[in-house]
């Protein structure tokens, strides 16, 4: 069991390998009659698509989903929604060596052990970041419905390689080619990425996400709280190594009197004066913005020579990765985090 998310309302199945015939997704559990605007969806997918600028892989995929079922005249028809993206621009030969010489930081080795040599190692197979495209198809559709309900999910880059954008996160920045709030900071970040690329290296970063417009009372106790649910979906994004809600790790350094969010009356309704809880108390929303941050590790595929172990000979060898790779996937991961958050939240509403 693995690649099917089983939520309270939704079931999301993600399938495909980096170099299989196609990748795709089936989303089951949406009510009939939801409008799906394919142009809006394509615009959302384009935010994730590779090959569009200096900081991403030159591999260019159209990432244009073909809907096989579940849509009729632009509306969901109640049947499961299935969409696929054909894999066209694949270069199998780039990956021939990875079967025996696993890339550090990748799933090559663990897949080899788990699947006993039967895994599809080309391009990372089912573990490829490419599998976040179907996640974005599902998320993009759900986001349209959340928008219609007055719920906004917006993510931005909070940090790249230790360079932080600390400016208040008040507006969506997803339409920007480099989605940070402060464009001066953006330039520094882009420079850091360019430097890493020049040195055949890569950098990571932190993505910050807010969900606005949620009513109080969403989520369930213990195993099905908003935190459990978002964490479960966000860790579906390869490269995520940590998540924190509200004040998160910094709350561990605070006193209770500082960290507790006092209740107050604002705009005629109950709110909290601060939002260290990230909008979640006891796993349940309190109508404040749900906020979280996800840590994205630096892309493991780097051109720099690295040490690996030859699985056939058992000896240590130097690996040089020659494929096309992003020096930093953080910008492209921003819509992916939005997609994951949207699915998590929609499922609980």
Residues 112, 106 contacting (CB under 8 angstroms): no
Of 94 and 201, CB closest to its own copies: 201
Of 94 and 224, CB closest to its own copies: 224
Complete edge-to-edge strand list for the sheet that includes strand 66-69:
4-6, 11-16, 22-28, 81-86, 66-69
Parallel/antiparallel/unpaired status of strands 11-16 and 4-6: antiparallel
CB of residue 222 to its own copies, shortest distance in Å: 4
CB of residue 12 to its own copies, shortest distance in Å: 8
Listed in sequence order, the residues at least 6 apart from 94 whose beta carbon sits closer than 8 Å to its beta carbon are: 123, 322, 323, 324
CB of residue 234 to its own copies, shortest distance in Å: 8
CB of residue 170 to its own copies, shortest distance in Å: 23
Q: Within 10 A of 108 (CB to CB), how many other CB atoms are there?
A: 23
In sequence order, what are the beta bridge partners of 81? 27
How many Cα atoms within 13 Å fall on the side-chain side of residue 112? 16
Which residue in 344, 343, 339, 340 sits closest to 45, CA to CA? Answer: 339
Of 171 and 318, CB closest to its own copies: 318
Of 17 and 175, CB closest to its own copies: 17
CB of residue 74 to its own copies, shortest distance in Å: 10
Of 171 and 202, CB closest to its own copies: 202
Q: Write 65-70 long-range contacts (CB < 8 A, 24+).
A: 65/24, 65/41, 65/137, 68/24, 70/27, 70/30
Of 171 and 213, CB closest to its own copies: 213
* Dihedral class, residue 295 (left if φ above 0, else alpha if ψ from -120 to 50, else beta): beta
CB of residue 152 to its own copies, shortest distance in Å: 21
């Amino acid at each position: 069991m693995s690649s099917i998310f089983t939520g309270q309302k939704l079931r999301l199945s993600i399938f495909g390998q980096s170099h299989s015939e196609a990748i795709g997704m089936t989303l089951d559990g949406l009510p009939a009659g939801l409008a799906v605007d394919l142009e809006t969806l394509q615009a959302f997918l384009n935010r994730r698509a590779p090959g569009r600028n200096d900081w991403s892989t030159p591999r260019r995929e159209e990432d244009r989903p073909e809907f096989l079922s579940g849509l009729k005249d632009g509306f969901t028809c109640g049947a499961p929604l299935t969409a696929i993206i054909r894999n066209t621009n694949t270069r199998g030969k780039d990956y021939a060596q990875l079967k025996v010489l696993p890339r550090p930081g990748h799933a090559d080795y663990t897949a080899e052990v788990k699947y006993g040599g039967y895994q599809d190692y080309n391009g990372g197979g089912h573990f490829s970041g490419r599998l976040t495209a179907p996640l974005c198809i599902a998320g993009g559709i759900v986001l349209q419905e959340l928008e219609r309900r007055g719920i906004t999910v917006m993510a931005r880059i909070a940090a790249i390689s230790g360079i932080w954008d600390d400016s208040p996160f008040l507006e969506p920045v997803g339409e920007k080619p480099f989605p940070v709030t402060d464009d001066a900071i953006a330039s520094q970040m882009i420079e850091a990425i360019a430097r890493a690329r020049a040195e055949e290296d890569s950098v990571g970063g932190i993505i910050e996400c807010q969900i606005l417009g949620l009513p109080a009372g969403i989520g369930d106790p213990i195993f099905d709280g908003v935190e459990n649910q978002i964490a479960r979906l966000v860790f579906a994004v390869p490269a995520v190594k940590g998540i924190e809600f509200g004040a998160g790790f910094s709350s561990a350094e605070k006193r209770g009197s500082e960290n507790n969010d006092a209740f107050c009356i604002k705009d005629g309704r109950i709110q909290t004066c601060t939002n260290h809880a990230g909008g979640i108390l006891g796993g349940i929303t309190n109508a404040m913005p749900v906020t979280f941050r996800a840590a994205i590790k630096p892309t493991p595929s780097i051109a720099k020579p690295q040490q690996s172990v030859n699985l056939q000979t058992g000896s240590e060898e130097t690996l040089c990765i020659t494929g096309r790779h992003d020096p930093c996937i953080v910008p492209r991961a921003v819509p992916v985090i939005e997609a994951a958050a949207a699915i998590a939240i929609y499922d609980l509403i």
